[in-house]
Amino acid sequence: MRTQVVIIGSGPSGLLLGQLLTGAGIDNVILDRVSKDYILGRVRAGVLEEGTVGLMDRAKAGARMHAEGLPHDGFSLAFDGRDHRIDLYGLTGGKRVMVYGQTELTRDLMEQRALTGAPSIYAAANVAPHDFDGQNPYVTYERDGINQRIDCDFIAGCDGFHGISRKSVPEKAIRTFEKVYPFGWLGILADVAPVSHELIYANHPRGFALCSMRSQTRSRYYLQCALDEKLEDWTDQRFWDELRRRLPAHHAEALVTGASFEKSIAPLRSFVSEPMRFGRLFLVGDAAHIVPPTGAKGLNLAASDVHYLFEGLLEHYQDRSNAGVDAYSAHALARVWKAVRFSWWMTTMLHRFPDTGDFDQKIQEAELDYLTHSRAAATALAENYVGLPF
């Protein structure tokens, strides 16, 4: 088989890139080692920047997002027992975010891909990119016990942090930067009404908490926890009791509880690999970078990578120019590092660290106070939260 672009990974970034390429008449094949049902069973982030929303529209997959998604004009910072609202819309001149689950976004892209007839191959074992440092790259995989090969012009590695794409790069050709945080997030999903119509980021002496949602009837809540916590020790009742302790009283009283249907503990890390291009192989999204979820940047960073790569490939095929693909890594990383900085800053400002002393605690309190009393500081927060321009 031959195609123009092989995309390894059928998560949001791979599907989004595939549909943008298909819409532009650029042939592509998506490969994934797992099944479609497995991908749709993963519950992930759900706060979309306007740039991500625009790319979904450009991929002709945004109709249900606009019908069912929840536009948010602001969010609350809760500390000292009070709410302090950050007016995203007012501070950024009319920009907002969209709350829409990553699983639903993935489903929309899958359905749009099926409508266009573009090929996706699931349950592909032993996927591997080859010869991407030359002019004739190809990808091999195994399906139903038969070895297969796809020749191509370019390979897009959209297969996540643990995928084969970054692992296939020679060690001496790549540099990685990492910060591991000394806590995790205990998260639950429950079919209960959200405690607030906007997200709440809570800084509390007992630790950070986040109140989010996936819809008007499905809530997503998180608690900062120690890395050695055991999931089985956290009953639903214990979780709800602890969440109430970390929220302002009026939110604690309004909290609607119920049985959770998903519960997990996720470690937090910041990770970046440089560069993001190796010959004719491009790393996209989590294959190249990870951010703590505090700033809601993971999915959106993947979308901005897709934007830069798509524009570069479009320029290559339509204008016979390699300027865009040559600039992909530099353009993507410039935005990546700004988002990494923002996510690190939000994480350090809102969480309690095990080694925080009295001085550090006073600095954190002063930061929150300044942020909620200075329009300039709040504007900087808001413009990063809604998403820096591509």
What one-character DSSP code corresponds to residue 353?
P
Residue ranges per structural domain of the chain: 5-70+98-177+269-347, 181-268+354-365
Does the active-site annotation cover 36?
no
The structure's pTM equals 0.95
Give all strands (DSSP E) within the chain, no chain letters.
5-8, 28-31, 47-48, 70-72, 74-79, 82-87, 97-99, 120-121, 125-130, 138-143, 146-151, 154-157, 175-190, 200-202, 209-213, 219-225, 260-274, 277-278, 281-283, 289-290
Question: Does CATH number 3.30.9.10 belong to domain 181-268+354-365?
Answer: yes
Q: What percent of the chain has pLDDT over 90?
A: 94
Does the active-site annotation cover 141?
no
Closest CA to 261 of 300, 225, 220, 290: 220
Catalytic one of 100, 141, 181, 201: 201
Q: What are the CA-CA distances from residue 341 to residues 275, 290, 301, 329 (Å)?
A: 18, 12, 13, 18
pLDDT digit string, tens, across residues 269-310 = 999 999 999 999 999 999 999 999 999 999 999 999 999 999
User: What pLDDT score does 346 carry?
Assistant: 97
Q: Is the model's pLDDT at 45 over the cut of 80?
A: no
Does the active-site annotation cover 297?
yes
Q: What would the mean pLDDT of 72-81 be, rounded to a whole number? A: 96
Closest CA to 35 of 143, 136, 109: 143
User: What pLDDT score does 43 carry?
Assistant: 66
Catalytic one of 289, 297, 316, 331: 297
125-130 β-sheet, strand order: 125-130, 138-143, 146-151
Please enumerate in sequence order all residues whose Cβ is within 8 A of that of 206, keeping only pairs 6 or more positions apart, or say none. 242, 245, 246, 352
pLDDT digit string, tens, across residues 118-173 = 999 999 999 999 999 999 999 999 998 899 999 999 999 999 999 999 999 999 99
Catalytic one of 72, 251, 316, 351: 72
Query: What is the C-alpha to C-alpha distance for residues 309 and 57, in angstroms, rounded to an integer?
Result: 17
- Which CATH number among 3.50.50.60, 3.30.420.10, 2.60.120.10, 3.40.718.10 corresponds to the domain 5-70+98-177+269-347? 3.50.50.60
Query: What is the C-alpha to C-alpha distance for residues 292 and 314, in angstroms, rounded to an integer?
Result: 32
User: What pLDDT score does 88 carry?
Assistant: 98
User: What pLDDT score does 213 carry?
Assistant: 93
State the chain's mean pLDDT as an integer: 96
User: What pLDDT score does 60 carry?
Assistant: 97
Catalytic one of 181, 221, 293, 351: 293
User: What pLDDT score does 44 carry?
Assistant: 65
Pick the residue with more confidence: 133 or 42?
A: 133
